[in-house]
Amino acid sequence: MSARNSSKGALVSEARAIFRAVADGFAIKDLRQACVAGHLLRHPAMETRRHIWNSLRHRYLAWGPPVWVVADLADAASGESRSRIFTGLAYLHYARRDRLTFDFVTEWLWGVWREKNLAVTRDDVLDFITEYEHRDAAVRRWRDSTRLKLAGNVLSALRDFGLFTGVQRKVLQRPQVPLEVVLHLCRLLDAEGLRGRSLLDAVDWRLFLFEAHDVSQALAQLAQRRDIHFEKSGRTTVLDLVRHPLDHE
């Protein structure tokens, strides 16, 4: 595992600039040059722009996302009225592409949320990293300075994505999750082979601090909009997604 993936923080405005360019017709193959040259990323140092591009590419493009994933991000980036949707989508892919962050949110922060002891500190992240050494031998080789920087950046990123209030004293909160983001996660899980109850029970919903009833409520709202077909009775779940217009491309 590399510490690089979490090391640059949320980068919401930078990601929005890239996907706004895509929405305006910019070719994905030309994004790197435009970012490094300073046309899309305005940071003064070229090396900083290169590092930011590498982080954003890893999160959103390097894994070969379906066309509809890029289209959803570009559509959400194209207008200020959809900024909350874009932030939610950006967070979703940020967390799902970084195993340490994903596990920290869905395990550690999930436990904090359930226990209602909502204050979170950098030491909590450091403790989690220490525990993580048993899962990934590469973590054992991280220097103390790397761990400290990573812990601070993870907390700052999660704050920017809406999971915390406060600057010095961070308090966990449930982020605002537009239905478009819920539907996007449904499509991601469906593309990974999860169906029905398995999709409903996916640990990914904890990224939003969603309990089971929160997931069901959000899916019911999507069903009212006819984005999905959803019925739940006891342990029986019927969940069918309306095909995305671009999911065949």
* Residue pointed to by tokens 């969603």: 210
Q: CB under 8 Å to 225, separation ≥6 — which residues?
A: 179
Instruction: Examine residue 93 and state whether it is found in any structural domain, yes or no.
Output: yes
Last residue of a domain, one of 174, 203, 232: 174
Tens-digit pLDDT profile for residues 138-183:
999 999 999 999 999 999 999 999 999 988 889 999 999 999 999 9
Last residue of a domain, one of 174, 193, 228: 174
148 and 55 share one domain: yes
* Residue pointed to by tokens 């899916």: 219
- Report yes or no: 210 and 114 within 8 Å, Cβ to Cβ: no
Cα(159)–Cα(163) distance, integer angstroms: 5
pTM comes to 0.94
Mean pLDDT of the chain: 93
34 and 90 share one domain: yes
